[in-house]
Amino acid sequence: MSGSDQRSTLQASSENGTTRSWARPSRPAEGEGGTKGRTMTTEFTIVLEDRPGALAQLCTVLGDGRVNIEAIQGTSREGQAVVHVVADDPDRAARLLAAADISFRRREVLVVRVLDEPGMLGDVTLVMSRAGINIDSVYVTTRGHIVLGVDDLDGAIQVAGGMAVMPPE
């Protein structure tokens, strides 16, 4: 049986005492998986003026440069909009943003794929909190994966590896 055919059973207990058990595929065997099984990706944080057209300009710069936005989340407050973007080609995205004179910060974030069921996000966040990992941002990709900005990326990767998360497609 190959590594991708093996299954393991995991459990998560919530604060209200309910326990869930489910099976998940084990980690891919050496040589399987490729970049599609990644758990980390680059997030860009961009502060824009909160005005009509600012987001359109950002998205147009990336789109015209053939960079696909895989996840985006934004909020505005007091005249500024803070936008978090995960792009399919972070290096190209950085070059395009710099060329357009759009300031940004960049960091690595965790991407997890979970079952689309009630309580799954609660399970992931509960296990992270019990491991002492703070989540400072959370949003969903265009494929339904969860993006987590955390204070301990290595720890979060280890925690997610022990949970019933599925590798991103």
Whether the model clears a pTM of 0.75, i.e. scores above it, the answer is no
Residue 21 has pLDDT above 50, yes or no: no
Phi-psi region of 33 (alpha: psi -120 to 50; beta: other; left: phi over 0): left
* Radius of gyration of the chain measured on its C-alpha atoms: 18
Element (DSSP H or E) covering residue 62: helix 54-64
pLDDT at 114: 84
In CATH terms, the fold of domain 43-106 is VC0802-like (3.30.2130)
Least confident residue range of 28-32, 93-97, 98-102, 163-167: 28-32
Work out the end-to-end distance of the chain between its first and last CA atoms, rounded to an integer number of angstroms.
22
pLDDT band with cut points at 50, 70 and 90 for residue 130: very high
pLDDT at 115: 84
pLDDT at 89: 96
Domain ranges of the chain: 43-106
pLDDT band with cut points at 50, 70 and 90 for residue 169: low
Phi-psi region of 50 (alpha: psi -120 to 50; beta: other; left: phi over 0): beta
